[in-house]
Homo-oligomer: A and B are copies of this chain.
Amino acid sequence: MTLPLPGRQVRGSTTGKPIMALLDLLGRTWALGIIWHLHTGPATFRELQQRCEKISPTLLNTRLKELKTLQLIESQKSGYQLSSQGVDLFEIISPLGCWSAQWAQALKDESKI
């Protein structure tokens, strides 16, 4: 898959709008999961593999390269970590943690009726 660069045509959009590039990127398997798991702190490749439970090294590496090129993560001696932009992004999506719990509850309640 080609890198979803803002300004370029991406999967799902010919307009080059940044939001479309971002949604393409975040819509790729494991991209959101990697960001989510990195917010708890830096991790080595193998540590990240474990946090993600079931990701293949092939795909992990592919996503890490994409996220690095697009400056959402960076690699240091301590391993991979969110960049400052990555942290900003995480802060936007972090309420999903709480929200998903309510959502899960609502789905559960509804299935009891």
A residues near B, CB below 8 A?
Answer: 5-7, 11-15, 17-23, 26-33, 36, 52-55, 70-71, 85, 88-89, 92-93, 95-97, 99-101, 103-104, 106-108, 110
- Those 7 A-B pairs whose CB atoms lie nearest each other, nearest first: A6-B104, A18-B104, A18-B100, A22-B100, A19-B100, A23-B32, A92-B95
Question: What residues of B have a CB within 8 angstroms of the CB of A31 in the complex?
Answer: 27
Copies of this protein, total: 2
Question: What residues of B have a CB within 8 angstroms of the CB of A70 in the complex?
Answer: 107
How far, in angstroms, from A75 to B54 measured CA to CA in the complex? 35
Q: Which of B5, B22, B28, B101 contacts A18 (CB 8 A)?
A: B101
Known contacts A6-B103, A12-B53, A93-B92; A27/B19 CB under 8 A: no
- Give 10 new A-B contacts, CB below 8 A, not counting A6-B108, A21-B100, A93-B96: A12-B30, A15-B53, A18-B104, A19-B97, A21-B104, A27-B31, A27-B32, A71-B107, A89-B103, A93-B93
